[in-house]
Amino acid sequence: MLRGCSKSDPVRTSVDDAMTPGSSFPPAEVKIPLAGLDLTLATVLWAVVAVIGTVIAGRVVYRLVLRIGHSVNGVADDLALQAARIARYLVLILGAGVLLAILGAPIQPVLAATLLVLASVYLVIRGIADNFGAGLVIQARHPVRLGDLVETCGYRGYVKGLNSRSVVLQTLDGRTAHLPNHAVMDSALVNYSASKQARSEIAVRIKRADLPSNGHVDDHLASATDIVLTATRSVRGVLDSPRPAVLLIAADPAELTVTLRIWHHPEGRSQTSSRVAAAVGTAFEERGGTVAVGWPPGPAAISISEEL
């Protein structure tokens, strides 16, 4: 008994000493086994804070970019929405990296997986990104605006819509064409509405015997020019500046072939050219002559066409 008591006394003494107010134990750690990670309660709490902070930051950035996009003139709502979404995704990706770092995940596998994911995403959205970038350029530089008459990618029509994906045209024959933004930027673009005027050409073939002058080509051309221009100036839709002009294309003993150039508003090409052709034909018929008027002009007239 004495020997047993003597053995227990030191133990009791050591425990009592350890429990004295001046003594302290090492801080306790609550370990949570998860996917091979050595997590502590503090790590989990910081991870929760990182998740909440990432979500809040993503929403703030989304709203900020969306507000900036709406405040910039010329940026469509659809384009601003796409930019805000991309900014939010970037914040979420950054937050995911911070979360993995807090959890103590091995950095090399994480980097490898991130690179693979980014490469896959790039391959998938490369076309979308090109289209989105082209949409930004179109809306920032304004090569076309709503209501403009344009010709691009083999289509001619009025611009009815601009968005992050396509340029919407209403063609002259009533069709609706959605042209991808990158296709519009990579193709030749003709904006007829930019200068507020356009030029058309009308081929006129006149019998020389019906012209009131002698047999010289210059005299016949002067007479034909006077008749054609007099008839043209009275037509509604023909602009006074630049002035209409008559060019000699071909001359033979029987007839003259000339090209009449007129300027008009881009939207009135067909109507104005038709009225001019009718007026020129009527002018020669009233003088007892015969004339052949063609619109659009034949290949010979087009091949030598040049700007005034």
Is residue 229 assigned to a domain? yes
DSSP 74: T
Share of the chain above pLDDT 70, in %: 77
Q: Which of 151 and 7 is assigned the larger pLDDT?
A: 151
Residues 294, 246: one domain? yes
Is residue 18 assigned to a domain? no
Q: Is the pLDDT of residue 158 over 70?
A: yes
Closest CA to 266 of 187, 197, 183: 197
Q: Is the pLDDT of residue 242 over 70?
A: yes
Residues 71, 48: one domain? yes
Q: What is the residue type of 104?
A: G
Confidence at 302, pLDDT banded by 50, 70, 90: very low
Residues 35, 137: one domain? yes
Closest CA to 121 of 95, 84, 86, 88: 86
Residues 75 and 132: beta-carbon distance below 8 Å:
no
Average per-residue pLDDT in the chain? 78
Q: Which domain-ending residue is among 132, 165, 191?
A: 191
Task: Report the pLDDT averaged over residues 286-308.
Answer: 58
pLDDT digits (tens, 9 = 90+) for 61-105: 999 988 887 776 656 677 778 778 888 888 888 888 778 777 776
pLDDT digits (tens, 9 = 90+) for 125-140: 676 677 777 888 888 7
Residues 35, 135: one domain? yes
Q: Is the pLDDT of residue 14 over 90?
A: no
Rounded to the nearest angstrom, the gap between the alpha carbon of residue 114 and the centroid of all alpha carbons in its chain is 30
Closest CA to 234 of 225, 244, 224, 223: 244
Q: Which domain-ending residue is among 141, 172, 206?
A: 141
Is residue 306 assigned to a domain? no
What's residue 298's pLDDT? 41
Residues 96, 157: one domain? no
Is residue 304 assigned to a domain? no
Residues 106, 50: one domain? yes
pLDDT digits (tens, 9 = 90+) for 194-209: 888 889 999 999 988 8
Q: What is the residue type of 177?
A: A
DSSP 168: E
Is residue 25 assigned to a domain? no
Q: How far apart are CA 161 and CA 203, in angstroms?
A: 36
Highest mean pLDDT among 11-15, 121-125, 135-139, 294-298: 135-139
Domain that holds residue 56: 31-141
Task: Report the pLDDT averaged over residues 296-304.
Answer: 39
Residues 117, 184: one domain? no
Torsion sign across C-alpha atoms 226, 230, 233, 235 = negative
What's residue 94's pLDDT? 80
Residues 98, 184: one domain? no
- The upper half-sphere exposure of residue 85, i.e. CA atoms within 13 Å in the direction of its Cβ, equals 8
Residues 202, 185: one domain? no
Is residue 26 assigned to a domain? no
What's residue 107's pLDDT? 65
Residues 159, 233: one domain? no
Is residue 67 assigned to a domain? yes
Output the domain CATH number for residue 177: 2.30.30
Output the domain CATH number for residue 209: 3.30.70.360
Is residue 238 assigned to a domain? yes
What's residue 12's pLDDT? 46
- Whose tokens are 């990104």? That residue is 129
Residues 124, 181: one domain? no
Residues 131, 35: one domain? yes
DSSP 244: P
What's the total number of domains in the chain? 3
Q: Which domain-ending residue is among 141, 161, 176?
A: 141
What's residue 10's pLDDT? 47
What's residue 307's pLDDT? 36
Q: What is the residue type of 258?
A: V
What's residue 74's pLDDT? 58
